[in-house]
């Protein structure tokens, strides 16, 4: 809406997406890479890179807010909706959360309902190009309505759970709810 502010409180706009992560950028081998989805689901799946790329995709433009106070506006992410993955594996009624795990060991987690929002993507492209490896290629989670530590790069597995498992930064003092509009930075 026109009269709603575009920038969450305490944020400033930057033009280029910075590169920010713990650890190393992982090597990618399309022959060996897979995405595993399991836990509280009726149909656990292991998808190859080609299978992921063959799923219905969308381009969704959203803003990206890091807890360290920078925001990159108008990111045109190219990928598949998280809801597409959920439809494939059919989470049970008990699955109220999901943990997302990455090459290198980074994790984050979110309520299932938040992940099913239409702007939540598993993305392989940004602004008309394939993601650069340092920005998460081949696959990164994008959760525009949360601080960017929820937008895990190099996703390799998704586990649906009954209880929420704390992610990497969430276990180190950062807010688990991570809503930039309510400035939920620290727990």
Ligand X SMILES: Nc1nc2c(c(=O)[nH]1)N[C@H]1C(S)=C(S)[C@@H](COP(=O)(O)O)O[C@H]1N2
The residues that touch ligand X, with contacts defined as CB under 6 A, are 17-22, 66, 102, 104, 106, 135-136, 148-149, 151-154
Out of Mo ion, ligand X, none, what residue 22 binds, judged by CB under 5 to 8 A for its kind, is ligand X
- Minimum Å gap between C-beta 165 and ligand X is 16
- Minimum Å gap between C-beta 132 and ligand X is 8
Structure tokens of 46? Answer: 């292991």
Q: State which residue, 40 or 110, has the beta carbon closest to ligand X.
A: 110
C-beta atoms surrounding 86 within 10 Å: 19
Q: Where does this chain bind Mo ion (CB under 5 A)?
A: 66, 148-149
- What is the rounded distance in angstroms from the CA atom of residue 137 to the CA atom of residue 26? 9
Out of Mo ion, ligand X, none, what residue 73 binds, judged by CB under 5 to 8 A for its kind, is none
- Minimum Å gap between C-beta 187 and Mo ion is 15
- Minimum Å gap between C-beta 42 and Mo ion is 34
């Amino acid at each position: 809406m026109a009269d709603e502010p575009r920038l969450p409180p305490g944020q400033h706009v930057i033009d280029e997406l910075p590169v920010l992560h713990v650890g190393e950028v992982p090597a990618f081998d399309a022959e060996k890479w897979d995405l595993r989805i399991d836990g509280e689901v009726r149909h656990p799946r292991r998808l190859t890179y080609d299978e992921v790329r063959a799923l219905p995709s969308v381009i969704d433009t959203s803003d990206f807010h890091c807890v360290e106070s920078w925001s990159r506006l108008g990111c045109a992410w190219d990928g598949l909706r998280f809801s597409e993955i959920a439809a494939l594996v059919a989470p049970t009624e008990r699955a109220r959360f999901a943990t997302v795990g990455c090459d290198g060991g980074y994790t984050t987690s979110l309520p299932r309902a938040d992940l099913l929002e239409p702007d939540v993507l598993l993305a392989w492209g940004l602004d008309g190009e394939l993601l650069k490896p340092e920005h998460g290629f081949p696959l990164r989670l994008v959760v525009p309505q949360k601080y960017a530590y929820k937008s895990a790069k190099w996703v390799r597995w998704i586990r649906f759970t009954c209880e929420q498992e704390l992610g990497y930064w969430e276990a180190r003092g950062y807010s688990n709810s991570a809503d930039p509009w309510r400035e939920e930075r620290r727990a």
